[in-house]
Copies of this chain bind each other. A is one copy, B any other.
């Protein structure tokens, strides 16, 4: 841990320099002006985080993950954003706070699963060499570990409205493009273990879970998992902000009849 002031920074992500009277922006070794119009947003996001452009299959799968994460109705982050619109804030205050709303209980479960899976598989070396039996063993260990702690395995759950169709769809896309690897397989084995542990009742993988598996099979560090959700969902937060703003609502609030006061009464002190 080294304490730093504001005068010395080191980065391998980007440099901005003057060249021939023009500003040149180099992103991980690529001139940004050459990426514009030639590479997609997903390809450039991959480059930004991993330092190299993705293969066509990797680009398609990351794009699919971003699309899967882009919208989920007026879910909590977009509910927050719509409230901010009704309070008359700027769009950036609303989107910024919608993003800040992600925590351990909402939008963080993908990161938790990714950390858990990576913790087990990284020590086993190249994921391509990990066999089915080893993955079965890890799946078992993860499910048993959760049971002993009395906690849930993050990334699997009983959604409010039914099984989450984004998970099987994303796994299919990953398989189609050759990205379905050790982590996607592990995620599926965990799902099977959870069902077995519940007498066959499904505990389906949700977006958090499949997002973790795909991010890791795409080669990202587990610490990047949440960023795909944040970047994609910012579109929802912004779209919902603009719609609520156009509806000219104000002061989204709780009604008195929705709040039960269980505190002390005056004159009893």
Contact = CB atoms under 8 A, between A and B. Distances in A.
Contact of A16 (B13, B21, B24, B73): B73
Interface string A122-150: 00000000000000000000000000000
Contacts of A66: 41
A83 B76 contact: yes
A28 interface: yes
Label chain A's interface by main secondary structure.
mixed
Nearest to A13: B239
A215 to B, nearest CB: 12
A58 interface: no
Contacts of A98: 96
Interface of A: 1-33, 35-37, 39-42, 44-45, 48-49, 51, 60, 63-64, 66-68, 70-76, 79-80, 82-84, 86-93, 95-108, 159-166, 169-170, 172-173, 176, 221, 223-224, 226-227, 230-232, 234-236, 238-240, 242-243, 245, 247-256, 258-266, 268-269
